[in-house]
Chains A and B, each alone.
Chain A
Amino acid sequence: MKSIKLATSAAAIVAVSASAAIARDQVQIAGSSTVLPYAAIVAEAFGENFDFPTPVVEGGGSGAGRKKLCEGVGENTIDIANSSSRIKQSDIDLCASNGVTEIQEVRIGYDGIVFASDINGPDYAFEPADWYNALAKKVAVDGKLVDNANKTWADVKDGFPAQDILAFIPGTKHGTREVFDVKVIEAGCEATGAFDLFKDANGGDKKAAEKACTALRTDGASVDIDGDYTETLARIEANQNAIGVFGLSFYQNNTDKLRVATMGGVVPSVESIASGEYPVSRPLYFYIKNAHLDVIPGMQEYVEFFVSDDIAGPDGPLAEYGLVPDPELAKTQEAVANRTPMGPLN
Chain B
Amino acid sequence: MTDIARNGSSAPAPARRNRSLLEVDDRTRRRNAAEARFKLMGSIAVIIGLLALVGLLTSILLNGMSSFRQTYVSLEVYLDPAKLDKDGSGNLEKIAKVTTFGYKPLIQKAMVATVAANGVDDQGLKAKKIADMISPEAPATIRDYVLANPDKIGETVRFDLLAGGRIDGYYKGRVTMETAALDRNVSPEQLRIADALRDAGVLDTRFNWAFFTAPDASDTRPEAAGLGVAILGSAYMMLVVLVLALPLGVAASIYLEEFAPQNWFTDLIEVNISNLAAVPSIVFGILGLAVFINYAGLPQSAPIVGGLVLTLMTLPTIIIATRAALKAVPPSIREAALGVGASKMQTVFHHVLPLAMPGILTGAIIGLAQALGETAPLLLIGMVAFVREYPAAPPEGLFDPASALPVQIYNWTTRGDPAFVERASGAIIVLLVFLLIMNILAIILRRRFERRW
A49 touches B418 (CB 8 A): no
- Which one of B136, B252, B385, B414 contacts A4 once the chains associate, using CB atoms below 8 Å? B252
Residues of A near B273 (CB, < 8 A) are: 1
B185 touches A253 (CB 8 A): yes
Task: Output the nearest chain B residue to A310 by Cβ-Cβ distance.
Answer: B101
What is the 8 Å Cβ interface bit string for chain A, positions 251-269, against chain B (1 contact, 0 not)? 0111111000000000000
Q: Which of A68-106 contact B (CB under 8 A)?
A: 74-76, 78
Q: Is B183 among interface residues, defined by CB-CB distance under 8 A? A: yes
- Which one of B272, B301, B386, B413 contacts A40 once the chains associate, using CB atoms below 8 Å? B386
B304 touches A16 (CB 8 A): yes
- Which one of A17, A48, A57 contacts B296 once the chains associate, using CB atoms below 8 Å? A17
Stretch at the interface among B5-13, B189-197, B216-224, B356-364: B216-224
- Which one of B100, B185, B384 contacts A49 once the chains associate, using CB atoms below 8 Å? B100
User: CA separation between A22 and B304, bound complex, in Å?
Assistant: 14
Residues of A near B269 (CB, < 8 A) are: 1-2
B293 touches A76 (CB 8 A): yes
Q: Which of B370-429 contact A (CB under 8 A)?
A: 382, 384-389, 395-396, 399, 401, 413-418
User: CA separation between A78 and B299, bound complex, in Å?
Assistant: 10
Q: Is A126 among interface residues, defined by CB-CB distance under 8 A? A: no
Stretch at the interface among A26-34, A191-199, A203-211, A281-289: A26-34
Q: Is B437 among interface residues, defined by CB-CB distance under 8 A? A: no
**Which of under 10, 10 to 19, 20 to 34, or 35 or more describes the interface residues of B?**
35 or more
Residues of B near A44 (CB, < 8 A) are: 217-218, 221, 388
Residues of A near B183 (CB, < 8 A) are: 255-256
- Which one of A4, A60, A253, A256 contacts B180 once the chains associate, using CB atoms below 8 Å? A256
Interface of A is mostly: helix
Q: Is A321 among interface residues, defined by CB-CB distance under 8 A? A: yes
- Which one of A1, A33, A54, A249 contacts B388 once the chains associate, using CB atoms below 8 Å? A54
User: CA separation between A4 and B244, bound complex, in Å?
Assistant: 13
Q: Is A19 among interface residues, defined by CB-CB distance under 8 A? A: yes
User: CA separation between A122 and B311, bound complex, in Å?
Assistant: 54
CB distance from A9 to the nearest CB of B (A): 7
Residues of B near A228 (CB, < 8 A) are: 414
Residues of A near B36 (CB, < 8 A) are: none
With A16-B298, A20-B297 in contact, do A47 and B389 touch (Cβ < 8 Å)?
Answer: yes
Q: 8 pairs across A/B with beta carbons < 8 Å?
A: A17-B298, A37-B219, A37-B415, A49-B143, A54-B388, A56-B386, A76-B297, A256-B180
**Residues on A close to B: CB < 8 A?**
1-2, 4-5, 8-9, 12-14, 16-17, 19-20, 22, 24, 26, 28, 30, 33, 36-37, 39-41, 43-45, 47-49, 51, 53-54, 56-60, 74-76, 78, 119, 227-230, 249-250, 252-257, 310, 317, 320-321
**Residues on B close to A: CB < 8 A?**
96, 99-101, 136, 140, 143, 175, 179-180, 182-185, 217-221, 244, 248, 251-252, 255-256, 260, 269, 272-273, 291-293, 296-301, 304, 308, 311-312, 315, 382, 384-389, 395-396, 399, 401, 413-418
Contacts A2-B272, A22-B399, A74-B297 aside, 12 further interface pairs with beta carbons under 8 A come to A1-B255, A1-B269, A19-B395, A26-B389, A28-B300, A44-B218, A58-B385, A230-B413, A230-B415, A253-B185, A256-B179, A320-B220
